[in-house]
Amino acid sequence: MDLENRVILNVGGIRHETYKATLKKIPATRLSKLTEAGVNYDPILNEYFFDRHPGVFGQILNYYRTGKLHYPTDVCGPLFEEELEFWGLDANQVTYFIVLYLNVFFGGCLKVELHNEKFAH
């Protein structure tokens, strides 16, 4: 793919690069609808800026690339759900291939493995 099809996304100060075709893989989402006329586009830097959680966004961008969404282990469930909602991804429609580590205050780390399960609220 050529440079014209590359997109730079600055999320929370972290720059991510991908292709327009990658962002079109999941239709009707914030990323699939990006335009240079949008308020998030900076023509001087030639990038889109979003003041959102950069770590969660890395997982979301990988979902566009691979079709598999991995739950980040360093954020809580409500924050992850909030980020999914912002980017236009429906948590009820997303299939997760994850290993979820829950930090439990009563004695360490509880490991719960979920494969091909719908995200439960």
Domain total of the chain: 1
- Cα–Cα dist 108/104, whole Å: 6
How far apart CA 40 and CA 9 sit, in angstroms, is: 10
Q: Give me the CATH number covering residue 110.
A: 3.30.710.10
d(CA 37, CA 43): 9
Q: Which domain holds residue 55?
A: 3-118
pLDDT digits (tens, 9 = 90+) for 67-81: 888 777 788 888 888
Tens of pLDDT along 55-110?
A: 999 999 999 999 888 777 788 888 888 999 999 997 765 555 444 444 444 344 44
